Amino acid sequence: MTDRLPGFSTLAVHAGAQPDPTTGARVTPIYQTTSFVFNDADHAASLFGLQAFGNIYTRIGNPTTAVLEERMAALEGGTAALAVASGHAAQVVVLQQLLMPGDEFIAARKLYGGSINQFTHAFKSFGWNVAWADPDDIGSFERAVTPRTKAIFIESIANPAGSITDIEAIAEVARKAGVPLIVDNTLATPYLIRPIDHGADIVVHSLTKFLGGHGNSLGGIIVDAGTFDWSKDNKYPMLNEPRPEYHGIRIQETFGNFAFAIACRVLGLRDLGPALSPFNAFMILTGIETLPLRMQKHCENAKAVAEFLAGHSAVASVNYAGLASDKYNRLARKYAPKGAGAVFTFSLRGGYDAGVSLVSNLKLFSHLANVGDTRSLVIHPASTTHSQLDDEAKVRSGAGPDVVRLSIGIEDKEDLIADLEQALVV
């Protein structure tokens, strides 16, 4: 007889956590400490040599953060995870394990504006070169592959318009190219889409958004699917060659199917330093406990608001994959049957000026640069999150001057619609 396996909501509450060994505290305590005492010199040496399980220093690992890591690995169906200070930090740490100076990675054009900036400018100074591809044209990924390509990076539900990416088709391109597929799953969360089930090798998140869910704590995470063979063709020396900083151990040989997460921890986080605060880990863990309930409400509200806007005379178009008429609806039904997320864009007949006026007239929606909050949020991407892009790149990434982005919260949907209605009329 096989045991009954717990479902997603049970994992969201329990995975990684158990009552505290010393106090019996049922909620995961905040271990707000920089460091942990060793039992003796041998224990210290074992921990530093990666021979024993345990805690050394919060820049390498922390018991509160470890609960968050295991919970996210469980929810995504990965073998292990590493939490870091932000989604941006997760991306740096991931690519540091994969790319050497002069190497390339392919990224979807439709991305969070901050990622476009990071890939274009910050990573250029590391000698990591990005090649852009169009997620609506799978052939553009195939054509971008070169002998120096080391990874492919996409978003599952893509910023800013909430378009849905054909993960399986791009995973196939990655498989043929012999490189890992990295999926930023921030806007979907594992409740809506589990990229590993569709062929992703690495999943990254900004935990700051729907996972934390309350707009109070920054965080990022890297989930290792345990699917990629890092020893093949010796393309990934960080994982496959003896590491001088650990007396010659080979990470993949030693850690098997969670080697990538370990490399990110002991070669990435340890040396680059973007550690997550244990307090933030605690806040995000608390948020994740209600993730399934919140995502259901986010999606229900988003669909109602999108339907309202689609029928409004001042609105030129609505991009929400949950609408039957949307060009991404087929992919949404395949990849995100429980809901198409709660971040989408629409454009106003009155163009830029109408967008500015709408944002200033809203009373319940907050004008700010975040998504995935309990509160409903509004922003004009062209002048904010995507402002560093040139005009052509703005339009190409779905952030043209007439576009307004919404992140729908968990308020009563009637109140959100009424707020938009009064703001559009004025």
Partner 1 sequence: MNHDAYDDNYIRSILNNVKSIAMVGASPVNVRPSYFAFKYLAQRGYDMIPVNPGHVGKSLLGKPFVASLRDIGRPVDMIDIFRSSSHIMPVVEEALTLSPPPKVIWMQLGARDDAAAAKAEAAGLKVVMNRCPKIEYGRLSSEISWMGVNSRTLSSKRAPIPTQGMRLSLNRMSVGGGATAASDRAAKNKSEPT
Question: Which stretches of the chain bind partner 1, using CB under 8 A?
Answer: 2-3, 5-6, 10-11, 14-16, 18-22, 24, 39, 46, 49-55, 61, 63, 65-67, 69-70, 73-74, 77-83, 196-197, 225-229, 246-249, 253-258, 261-262, 265
Q: Which is nearer to partner 1, 78 or 339 (CB)?
A: 78
Q: Which is nearer to partner 1, 203 or 306 (CB)?
A: 203
- Spatial CB neighbours of 368, under 8 Å, sequence gap ≥ 6: 377, 379
DSSP for 44-66 reads HHHHHTT-S----BTTT--HHHH
N-to-C CA span, the chain: 65
Smallest gap from residue 205 Cβ to partner 1 (A): 14
CB 321 within 8 A of CB 303: no
Closest by Cα among 97, 57, 358 to 204:
97
162/346 Cα distance (integer angstroms): 11
Smallest gap from residue 66 Cβ to partner 1 (A): 5
Q: Which is nearer to partner 1, 64 or 186 (CB)?
A: 64
Token pair 């009552």: residue: 19
Smallest gap from residue 299 Cβ to partner 1 (A): 25
Smallest gap from residue 83 Cβ to partner 1 (A): 7
Q: Which is nearer to partner 1, 227 or 301 (CB)?
A: 227
For 273, the token pair is 């330093």
Token pair 């178009």: residue: 317
Smallest gap from residue 11 Cβ to partner 1 (A): 7
Q: Which is nearer to partner 1, 28 or 159 (CB)?
A: 28
In single-letter form, the type of residue at position 386 comes to: H
Helix (H) or strand (E) run with residue 170 in it: helix 167-177
User: What sign does the CA torsion over 145, 146, 147, 153 have?
Assistant: negative
86/187 Cα distance (integer angstroms): 15
Smallest gap from residue 67 Cβ to partner 1 (A): 8
Smallest gap from residue 402 Cβ to partner 1 (A): 41
Q: Which is nearer to partner 1, 74 or 211 (CB)?
A: 74
3-state SS class at 315: strand
214/197 Cα distance (integer angstroms): 27
Q: Which bin fits 288, alpha (ψ -120 to 50), beta or left (φ > 0)?
A: alpha
Q: Which is nearer to partner 1, 61 or 339 (CB)?
A: 61
